[in-house]
Amino acid sequence: MLAVHFGAGNIGRGFIGALLSKSDFTINFVDVNKDVIDALNEKQQYKVVLADENKEELLVKNVSGINSLANPEQVIEAIEKADIVTTAVGPNVLPIIAEIIAKGLTQRKSITDRPLNIIACENMIGASTLLKEKVFEHLTDQEQAEFVKLYGFPDSAVDRIVPNQVNEDLLTVSVEPYYEWIVEDTEIKGNKPAIDGLTYVNDLTPYIERKLFTVNTGHAVAAYLGHFLDYKTIKEAMDTELIQDWVKGALNESGEALIHMYQFEKENHQAYITKILNRFVNPYISDEVTRVGRGPIRKLGGNDRLIRPASLYLEKVKKEPIYLAQAIAAALMYKNDQDEEAVTLQQQVEEKGYEQTLREISGLSGDHPLIPVVMNQLEQLKNK
Ligand SMILES: NC(=O)c1ccc[n+]([C@@H]2O[C@H](COP(=O)([O-])OP(=O)(O)OC[C@H]3O[C@@H](n4cnc5c(N)ncnc54)[C@H](O)[C@@H]3O)[C@@H](O)[C@H]2O)c1
Ligand SMILES: O=P(O)(O)OC[C@@H](O)[C@@H](O)[C@H](O)[C@H](O)CO
């Protein structure tokens, strides 16, 4: 069985590749990073190391790479033959890979009517749905009508902390032992891909929102406030009582909103939070706040990990989300010359001020009650 996976980065190699390989898939990684692709073709295998005291190693075999910039025709050919297509490229890259996926599906359809599922494994609500929209922009009306019956784009939620890598070998990837991969099965075309460790559900919404608004919310709070206080890693930040309290405060707020929305058992949700807080302080992982805080414009989006739980808390719980607002303020203040979005964000702040920048990036209406709460927290942070 052949898997074509876009994005041979941390989560691509360290999670999706590892799981697909365990279920006997051969994996064609597609990437624009020449060094990684060359190394995959040369070695045809790589190591995944579990970041705990045992450092158990898994050898991922039968892998190869395609450089999509140099050899787009090979990508098209791979999609023609694939049994599954997955991505882990980052939400902003989905529109960029859509065209070649459309070409691959078009070529496939000219040869076979075999169904195919394309699963975007990104930290975003509705990532596969977005990819489908972008792919369909490259198809005629007739192709769209045919493809919709054969090609599924099921949404998914993926959870495994894979930090930036500092190994001698370029391909080796160190990952936390914990993982969760959930896929919405209502959109699947043909047989459900049999992948060990993947869970199918009928309705992904509670799962993706619980994950994004707990793991990623907590992570973002630790990253932006950690950076504000000059900490370099998530663990360093979390080892500080003050930041730990801020993260817990934010997760209590997002938790109350989630419990209200999805009727989760309060105790179960608290246990979920506690487990996540322990994952953040894994001593075998060094995760930079700059990785976790990367892309602040995306992270300040209206449906993302900070604004959406804060808005839900206001709307459903009817209280002011002080801790989430503080993290939103820290995200607005986030400066990092190495991060393109952080640079653009600060240019926007310089030109338009914090309040207008927040409105434009988050899409919150001018009179949204969250805005004064954030502005108040911002003033307090400036004085810290
Ligand atoms: N690292 C984690 O802990 C983690 C966990 C869950 C989900 N995710 C999600 O997985 C996705 C990838 O994150 P990551 O941490 O692996 O990032 P990463 O930067 O390590 O990997 C992304 C890969 O995509 C490649 N890429 C960029 N443009 C491309 C293109 N046009 N075509 C093909 N490949 C391209 C990059 O070269 C890189 O190898 C993100 O959506 C992220 O939110 C990450
Ligand atoms: O990947 P991002 O930029 O959306 O978010 C950064 C981290 O919070 C994220 O990568 C987590 O490590 C991951 O989502 C854990 O499952």
94 and 122 Cβ atoms separated by less than 8 Å: yes
Ligand nearest to the CA of 121: 1
74, 82, 73, 68: which is closest to 27 by C-alpha?
A: 82
49, 287, 86: which is closest to 183 by C-alpha?
A: 86
- 162 CA to centre of ligand 2 in angstroms: 8
Nearest atom (ligand 2) to Cα of 10: 10
Residues 212 and 198 in one domain: no
Is 9 one of the annotated binding-site residues? yes
CATH number at residue 218: 1.10.1040.10
87, 92, 161: residue to mutate for ligand 2 pocket, most atoms within 8 A of CB: 161
> Alpha carbon 255 to chain centroid distance?
20
Q: According to the model, what pLDDT value does residue 269 have? A: 98
- Show the domain range for 227: 206-382
Extract the tokens encoding 191: 């047989």
For residue 156, give the 3-state DSSP assignment: strand
160 lines ligand 1 (CB under 6 A): yes
Q: Whose CA is nearest to atom 7 of ligand 2?
A: 292
Number of domains in the chain: 2
Residues 33 and 156 in one domain: yes
Say if strands 84-87 and 116-120 run parallel, antiparallel, or are unpaired.
parallel
Residues 171 and 38 in one domain: yes
Low-confidence ranges of the chain (pLDDT < 70): none
Residues 216 and 275 in one domain: yes
Residues 196 and 225 in one domain: no
Helix (H) or strand (E) holding 118: strand 116-120
311 lines ligand 1 (CB under 6 A): no
Residues 260 and 170 in one domain: no
9 lines ligand 1 (CB under 6 A): yes
160 lines ligand 2 (CB under 6 A): yes
Residues 230 and 306 in one domain: yes
Q: According to the model, what pLDDT value does residue 63 have? A: 98
Residues 161 and 29 in one domain: yes
158 lines ligand 1 (CB under 6 A): yes
Q: According to the model, what pLDDT value does residue 188 have? A: 98
CATH number at residue 39: 3.40.50.720
Interface confidence (ipTM) of the complex: 0.99
Q: According to the model, what pLDDT value does residue 141 have? A: 98
Q: According to the model, what pLDDT value does residue 10 have? A: 97
Residues 74 and 32 in one domain: yes
159 lines ligand 2 (CB under 6 A): yes
Of 167, 187, 202, the domain-final residue: 202
What is d(CA 309, CA 315) in angstroms, rounded to the nearest whole number?
10
The pTM score is 0.97
Q: According to the model, what pLDDT value does residue 341 have? A: 98
123, 281, 298, 339: residue to mutate for ligand 2 pocket, most atoms within 8 A of CB: 123
Is 191 one of the annotated binding-site residues? no
219 lines ligand 2 (CB under 6 A): yes
Is 5 one of the annotated binding-site residues? yes
Of 179, 202, 225, the domain-final residue: 202
Of 202, 224, 256, the domain-final residue: 202
